[in-house]
Amino acid sequence: MTDSRTAGPGKFACTRCGACCVSLGNTIRIERKAGPRAYYCRDVISGNLSLVHIEAPCVPFFQEARGREQGKGCAFLVRMPEEYACAVYQTRPLLCREFQCCRMRIYRPDGQVAGTVKGRRSLSSDDPGLRELWNAEIAALSTEHDGTWDLQVKKILQNAGFTVDLYR
């Protein structure tokens, strides 16, 4: 399966945590089976109907997931041995193609992820230094325009020694 984890700088890279597919809930609903590995599904927000195909490596995991009661999250989210995967990644609906679970990824000087900005302006981080900087200098920014806010935040973070990837 190909995914965006190999994306270059400034491109969103999926970490296969499954959070996006869970957070979208049952937004993508299976309407009917169209073949051995093909399904028609509907995006309940836009009403768009898509034909998707279960990718070969995901077939046993998808069948196992379909055999038990579906919980929260997308019906095509499968738990692989070491990560989550979208069983229909190559043919996923447009809503899924356009969705990014974070808008900014923040890295420590050693290259490790220090945190992410999710939603409009919410920091997700366990790094105490980053949280302190965020609370002291970033949380109070009053800029309404998201692009301007992104650039201001990036500059503050870079001045503090962090590296930032923006995904807007």
Q: What is the pTM of this model?
A: 0.61
- CB proximity list for 6: less than 8 A, separation 6 or greater: 13
Quick one: pLDDT at residue 163?
Answer: 94
Could you tell me the two tokens for 87? 């069983």
Over residues 139-150, the pLDDT tens digits come to 999 888 888 999
Distance, CA of 47 to CA of 110 (rounded, Å): 45
Over residues 11-30, the pLDDT tens digits come to 666 677 777 787 777 889 89
Q: Highest mean pLDDT range out of 28-32, 95-99, 118-122?
A: 28-32
Distance, CA of 114 to CA of 62 (rounded, Å): 33
Quick one: pLDDT at residue 101?
Answer: 73
Residues 53-66 have a mean pLDDT of 84
| 58 φ/ψ angles, rounded to the nearest 5 degrees | -95, -10
Residues 34-38 have a mean pLDDT of 95
Domain boundaries, the chain: 15-98, 104-166
| 73 φ/ψ angles, rounded to the nearest 5 degrees | 105, 175
Residues 21, 3 contacting (CB under 8 angstroms): no
